Copies of this chain bind each other. A is one copy, B any other.
Amino acid sequence: MKTVTIRTAKRQEMIDVTGRLREFLQEEGLADGAVIAFTPHTTAAVTINENADPDVRHDMLLGLAEISPDRRAFKHGEGNSDAHIKSSLVGCSELILVEEGRPILGTWQGLYFCEFDGPRNRKLIFKKV
């Protein structure tokens, strides 16, 4: 198991952590199997999506903000219920397949840490499954 720290800079942000995943595979010498990437936060998430055009990230964050906006009827005093919802919609973990020491990802896929209530210091955990 390895915990990496991530310093986010904005309220909403998608940070490419595919390199961190590859580092973990190398350090572990994991040739074949699966790895979970898990974040222990309730206003963040982990997802796999396009890592080519940065406009996709822009659009995803914009779309998620439209899907889960702040709402008047929310009661939670911290005012970040929109982010809690985004966290459960996107999910706090991804399971990544590994073969020949490399993550099985499509041509356009990268692994992302999603910040929904930053800026904050965040943790991302990798573990063999």
Report how far A123 CA is from B13 CA in the complex, Å: 29
Report how far A84 CA is from B58 CA in the complex, Å: 11
Q: Is the interface of A mostly helix, strand, loop or mixed?
A: mixed
* From B40, B63, B95, contact of A106 by CB (8 A): B40
User: A16 on the interface (CB 8 Å rule)?
Assistant: no
Copies of this chain, how many?
Answer: 3
Chain B residues positioned under 8 Å from A41 (CB to CB): 106, 108-109
Chain B residues positioned under 8 Å from A50 (CB to CB): 42, 84
Task: From A4-12, A18-26, A70-78, give the one contacting chain B.
Answer: A70-78
Whether A68 contacts B67 by the Cβ 8 Å rule is: yes
* From B40, B56, B67, B93, contact of A94 by CB (8 A): B93
Range for the number of chain A residues in contact with chain B: 35 or more
Report how far A109 CA is from B39 CA in the complex, Å: 10
Whether A105 contacts B67 by the Cβ 8 Å rule is: no
Report how far A104 CA is from B84 CA in the complex, Å: 19
* From B76, B90, B127, contact of A89 by CB (8 A): B90
